[in-house]
Chains A and B, each alone.
Chain A
């Protein structure tokens, strides 16, 4: 299975409020609130670190969850965010995000 790379799009506004990330899509003014785990993934979405590695480094270590289950949840999350246009997904590193 090829790795998944994720990058934040520039089409959003985002700010950490407490431990949760608020994200506003400029496309349709939809507001999202990411929980602590999703926030960790969002912040690590640099376009070059594979999602599995992000989950290992930022989710499994900090939240003591099963790695396989965490990766499945993370894949579902990033697909959802990509559908709303606030995250880019690719099977190749996304260099412009760097």
Chain B
């Protein structure tokens, strides 16, 4: 994060402003990606005037960074009307799309909207691999044709390469393809559970050795592997832990679903209110759930506050922890990442091991915050 963006984020947090929002316009999609966490049926999306009213409210609340995502956003017939409205309200707009519906006419319109960027999912440089993931024959060819149209018009395109076992070996190819077409390249090595809590898609996650390879690839990290994989700095001091926040969810960021439900983050399905029945700013400021999320600092996390990774090598997602049963607990996927990154076990991992070793019995062995420890052990078992 650049210095000015960090400064802006700090200020927004002090002022209680939701600086950034992801709004999913629809869960409908023309692809059926094997790892997708969404239910693609339409259960009552907000209509055009509801979305526009929400955008008006968000602009008034101070939202600056607006990500429009889905589903496939261009499945909505009013897609351009919505984006044009958002730009009239001076949002910094980023789109997430598979781009298969972008043809020259759509590319022209997107260029005219002066967007921040368009993020496009690309799973492989090979048709057979990409199309097997999206389940849409010809999708890679269509996506890349759209990318070229956008780049030719000066639109900033970012490839999002989600890594799974079946496409892991292709990420260098996707990276090379991004360079060839003039797009930026990002990688995401984490498959997250379905929004309804179904964790079956997690078996698509890449293996530990593959994650190790990613974490030691300087071309992806943007820093040296030695620095990135350095041993953890140790647990934070009690004073620091009281000041450290888990992430921006609920602090300067939130997520709104196509049905108007507001959550702290797209990966944090804790319902906090619905914009069809409450004003956006009222939910943001006064929802008990949002207030609870906002109140949590690292010192409130009974396991993570004792962890040697807490000082910086941890990327704990409170939403993933919530989906595991406890928003104050560790996220096993992030513990795994910290371990693979540094070779040092996390506090969450050692407690899980301890829980397994007692073979189904719950014991309290650690004095600090015993209630929470017990709760966590029960979750593990």
Contact = CB atoms under 8 A, between A and B. Distances in A.
- Please indicate whether A and B come from the same complex rather than being unrelated chains: yes
Interface of A: 10-18, 22, 24, 26, 29, 31, 33
A31 B90 contact: no
Interface of B: 2, 4-5, 7-8, 11-12, 15, 17, 19, 59, 62-64, 87, 90-93, 114-117, 156
B114 A33 contact: no
Contacts of B91: 13, 15
B58 to A, nearest CB: 10
Given A13-B91, A31-B2, A24 B116 contact: yes
Given A10-B114, A14-B90, A15-B91, 5 more contacts: A13-B64, A13-B92, A15-B92, A29-B116, A31-B5
B207 to A, nearest CB: 36
Contact of A24 (B12, B17, B19, B92): B92
Contacts, number: 48
Q: Which of A15, A16, A26 has the most CB of B within 10 A?
A: A15
A51 B82 CA distance: 34
B199 to A, nearest CB: 37
Contacts of A31: 2, 4-5, 8
Contacts of B156: 29
Contacts of A18: 11, 15
B116 A15 contact: no
A33 B10 CA distance: 14
B90 A17 contact: no
A26 B115 contact: yes
B170 to A, nearest CB: 28
Contacts of A22: 8, 64
A29 B92 CA distance: 10
Nearest to B63: A15
Contact of A17 (B17, B59, B116, B117): B17
Closest 5 CB pairs of A and B: A13-B92, A26-B114, A15-B64, A11-B114, A14-B90
B8 A17 contact: yes
A33 B116 contact: no
B8 A33 contact: yes
Contacts of B5: 31
Contact of B12 (A11, A17, A26, A29): A17
Nearest to A15: B64
A17 B2 contact: no
Contacts of A17: 8, 11-12, 15, 17, 19, 62, 64
A10 B112 CA distance: 10
Contacts of B2: 31
Contact of A33 (B4, B19, B93): B4
A88 to B, nearest CB: 14
A70 to B, nearest CB: 25
14 contacts: A10-B87, A11-B114, A12-B114, A13-B92, A15-B90, A17-B8, A17-B62, A17-B64, A18-B11, A24-B64, A24-B92, A31-B2, A33-B4, A33-B8
A29 B156 CA distance: 9
Given A17-B15, A17-B17, A26-B115, A12 B8 contact: no
A10 B113 CA distance: 9
Contacts of B90: 12-15
A13 B93 CA distance: 8
A18 B12 CA distance: 8
Contacts of B87: 10
Contacts of B8: 17, 22, 31, 33
B3 to A, nearest CB: 10
Contacts of A15: 59, 62-64, 90-92
Contacts of B7: 33
A16 B60 CA distance: 10
A24 B93 CA distance: 10
A57 to B, nearest CB: 22
A11 B8 CA distance: 21
Nearest to B59: A15
